Amino acid sequence: MYKLYYHITKNASFFLEKLLEKRRDKNKEDPKRYVEKKAIITEKRPDAPLVWIHAASIGEARSALILINKIRYEYPDIFFLVTTGTKTSAQIMTKDLPDNTVHQYYPFDHPIWTKTFIEHWNPDLILWMESELWPNMLAVIKSKNIPAFLINARMSPKSYRNWALLKPLTRDMLSTFKKILCQTKADAQYYQKLGASDVSVSGNIKYSAAPLAYDTDSLTKTKLALNGRKFWLFASTHDGEEEMACRIHQILKKTFPELLTIIVPRHPERRKEIEEKCKAYTLDVLLRGEDKKLPYDRTDIYIVDTLGELGLFYRLADIACIGRSFSNDGGGGHNPIEAAQLECAVLYGPNVQNLQEIFDEMEQNSAAWKVNSEILLANAVKELLKEPEKVENFKNTAYNFSKDKSGTALGVLDTLRPEIEGIYTKRPISKANRTIKL
């Protein structure tokens, strides 16, 4: 089966190049760097131990940053190559990457491009985050005998069913990894059923994330602009959820005439589409924009269409609903820990299958509130807006839950430590240049 995939992809160069150019022309790819997806590389490999961490998109990238910072604290002379696939994740990573770290776009899974990529970077250790499986790249890694780990691994029921249809290929790909560290027992069972040999449960690294950053001056200015108004936040929204927020706003405004609804879309490039849909409800809609406009007294819907400001609005809000839990695409959910860490009362909808165990555990510990429909969400927000003491208790419970779970990444590092130490055998560094912080 892999031979068929190999020959199809090897002969698809023309189509893959055209696809990249089309995506570039539609502003879905970085026009200056899209060639990295063809393994056209301008960055030089550092003459030092190199760990390659692959994180497909924003969520995985943030998990990768947690792990990078934990490793760097003990092994500051190690360099990191971080790859992601999306333009938005690259923008965030480029801004947040620490020293001794370079970002590249992950190449398309063409056998020549993947081989070029591996031979150029020649990593000493490979850490893949969560759920990305690409046959050609994994075949090259295996052929080069580079130690590789699948970290924070997860698998949805749908993905399991799809990979199970290709079980011989899947088993062969998974054999590339020395060990697979899963988020949950259910994830571990899926990987074992697919043929993975060394699988364990480490928990979710997202629990160990530092709270999302925010600008204190912007926080002060936004609080002053709100001037004591009641408001709620719908965070990381997808298609369908912005219109839901507008309908809920119309309901709640009857009880709270000065209410403000803040929407932070997951993909800010949808700003015009979101603005038009919200204005159709005859509401006063304001885009924050790069000039960071602040809501007026008459603003009903405030759309935060900027990158990297979710932390600001979680810190600002007492009540936050997690996006992609009601969306038109079937949902999947986004990370509720980020809201809990910044002391929000966390609400979410019925479709959080990508992070089901996290949401379930939070709900079981009264750290999140599941609402199964639009009207139930409206009722929940209304109840919390009316009862400040209940909100405070809810916020404290969510925060304490996130704090109790914060040690996951250290456990992952303990598992990886022998491999990291082994890098120095392969690529020695003098003790004078090797400083381990304690």
Query: Domains in the chain, ordered, with CATH?
Result: 2-203+407-433 (3.40.50.11720), 216-404 (3.40.50.2000)
* Burial class of residue 405, CB neighbours in 10 A (0-12, 13-18, 19+): buried
Task: Assess contact for 242 and 284: CB atoms under 8 A.
Answer: no
pLDDT of residue 432: 38
For 338-343, what is the mean pLDDT?
A: 96
Least confident range of 45-59, 182-196, 330-344: 45-59
pLDDT more than 70, % of the chain: 97
pLDDT of residue 436: 36
60 is catalytic: yes
Task: Assess contact for 335 and 355: CB atoms under 8 A.
Answer: yes
For 266-283, what is the mean pLDDT?
A: 97
Give the active site residue among 29, 60, 130, 343: 60
Query: Residue 302 contacts by C-beta under 8 Å, 6 or more apart in sequence?
Result: 260, 261, 262, 263, 286, 288, 295
Strand partners, 286: 302
CB atoms within 10 A of CB 417: 13
Residue 403 predicted with pLDDT over 50: yes
- C-alpha 243, offset from chain centre: 24
Q: How far apart are CA 187 and CA 54, in angstroms?
A: 19
Which residue intervals of 104-229 are DSSP H helices?
A: 111-121, 135-144, 157-164, 167-174, 185-193, 216-226
pLDDT of residue 429: 62
pLDDT of residue 162: 93
Does pTM surpass 0.85? no
pLDDT of residue 184: 87
Query: Tokens 């990238």 identify what position?
Result: 61
Structure-block tokens of residue 246: 């507008």
Structure-block tokens of residue 146: 């580079």
Residue 268 predicted with pLDDT over 60: yes
Query: Tokens 């759920």 identify what position?
Result: 131
